[in-house]
Amino acid sequence: MTKRMLIMLGGVVLLIAVLGVGFFLHIQKLIANSPKPGPQTVSTTVAKMAEWQPQLSSVGTLTAVHGVDISSEVAGQVRSLHFKSGQDVKAGDVLVQLNADSDQAQLRSLQAAAELAATTLKRDRAQLAIEGVSQAQVDADMADLKSKTALVAQQAALVAKKTIRAPFSGRLGITAVNPGQYLNPGDKIVTLQTIDPVYVDFNLPQRQIGQVRVGQPVKVKSDAFGDEVFHGKINAINPKIDPATRNVQIEATIANPKHKLLPGMFANATIDVGSKQKHLTLPQTAITYNPYGSTVFIVKQGKNGLEAQQAFVTTGDTRGDQVAITAGLKEGQEVVTSGQLKLKTGTPVTVNNSVQPANSPNPTPQEH
């Protein structure tokens, strides 16, 4: 009985082995007959050396060299306006005249009282010479004259405040004040901004502070004017680092003769630092950034045609659509710029460069 069972068990094992070998051979045949994947279509570029000007870049805000909201120090009714909205004015130009009739009348009254006090002092001094009055009387007359003269000066200052003038040269904004309107102290009349030149305030990381200095040239661009460049110089570097961001504030003065730049606009500020350098350059789309490092795919000639080979690279500074490669690549090597997701080392490729990714050092918005 035991021998018989062993024979049966051996038969089952042999049957399983035969079935397994048959299934394996069938799978091999299916694999052999399956269609081979064709070459993957990619776009490529040749790694080339390019001359770079090292730059520090930041986004800043434009502010006026002088800017203020004109208001009245005293209450009064607007008698006349001497400006139009958007007008350029010079320092000292009359902007608004408030009603000052009663104040001027009071001034004339005080002036008359002061003149009388001066006459009285002159007469009493003559009387003092012949001992007609005492020295105390002359002293009292002098004190009275000084008091009345001070009142005249005070009233004259009040009258002067009823004529509101431009404190500096600049361009006026839009006003909502009209003749006949009553103004309270502090009411806004119109904004006045000096816009030639203008300031641009921006921040740089503390590690870059050693590369900037007062007087260094600055170039500014605004998206409102495309590629137009406005030139200026650094005029101040904040002596304190912001402890929250570890950034330092930089202020530069930008020439604005055509009054294109306006306070409140944002602008891209760049500073050229050091001498020009040469870097091996690729479009940023050619780089695949991974947690374990940055890689590119190099196109090489294989046994059956062009193949992709993955390589690790070290990236440096970026400039527009471009990135500098500091290690892992040689000049003249052909690098894949699009289509990397379907590649691995050894994948056959076919090159189609009819459409190329962006590779401009100074890209502009697509709307332009």
Q: 2 falls in which pLDDT band (50, 70, 90)?
A: low
353 pLDDT exceeds 60?
yes
The reported pLDDT for the residue numbered 129 is 81
**% of the chain exceeding 90 in pLDDT:** 49
Task: Name the band, by pLDDT with cuts 50, 70 and 90, for residue 182.
Answer: very high
User: To which residue do tokens 């459409």 refer?
Assistant: 355
Q: Find out whether 76 and 98 touch, Cβ atoms under 8 Å.
A: yes
pLDDT the model gives residue 365: 56
Query: How confident is residue 31, by pLDDT bands cut at 50, 70 and 90?
Result: low
The angle, 0 to 180 degrees and rounded to 10, between the axes of the packed helices 101-129 and 135-161 is 160
Mean pLDDT of the chain: 87
Lowest model confidence (mean pLDDT) among 132-141, 188-197, 345-354, 359-368 = 359-368
In this prediction, residues 332-345 reach a mean pLDDT of 88
Coil, strand or helix: which one is 146? helix
Structure tokens given for 5: 């069972």
- Take residue 27 and report the two structure tokens written for it: 């799978």
**How far is the C-alpha of 343 from the C-alpha of 354, rounded, in Å?**
20
Do strands 349-351 and 40-46 pair parallel, antiparallel, or not at all (unpaired)? parallel
Q: What is the pLDDT of residues 283-318, one digit of tens each?
A: 988 899 888 889 999 999 888 888 889 999 999 888
pLDDT value at 243 more than 80: yes
Q: Check whether 52 has a pLDDT greater than 50.
A: yes
Please state which of the ranges 191-195, 222-226, 317-321 shows the lowest mean pLDDT: 317-321
pLDDT at 340: 85
pLDDT over 80 (residue 183): yes
- For 68-82, how does the pLDDT look when each residue is reduced to its tens digit (9 = 90+)? 999 999 999 999 999
Three-class SS state of 170? strand
CB atoms within 10 A of CB 152: 20
Burial string for 2-19 (b: 16+ CB within 10 Å, else e) reads eeeeeeeeeeeeeeeeee
The predicted model gives 359-364 an average pLDDT of 70
Reduced to 3 states, what is the DSSP secondary structure of residue 79?
strand
Reply yes or no on whether the pLDDT at 368 is more than 50: no
Indicate the pLDDT class of residue 91, thresholds 50, 70 and 90: very high
DSSP H or E segment with residue 135: helix 135-161
- Between strands 230-237 and 217-221, the pairing is antiparallel
At residue 278, the pLDDT reads 85
Confidence of residue 276 (pLDDT cuts 50, 70, 90): confident
Cβ atoms 44, 62 nearer than 8 A: no
At 229 the pLDDT is 92
Q: Is the pLDDT of residue 354 over 80?
A: yes
Domains of the chain listed by start with CATH number: 40-52+277-351 (2.40.420.20), 56-65+193-272 (2.40.30.170), 100-161 (1.10.287)
Asked if residue 364 has pLDDT above 70, the reply is no
CA distance 333 to 280: 11
| Cα–Cα distances in angstroms (integers) from residue 126 to residues 112, 122, 130, 133, in the given order | 21, 7, 7, 9
Is the distance from CB of 272 to CB of 54 less than 8 angstroms?
yes
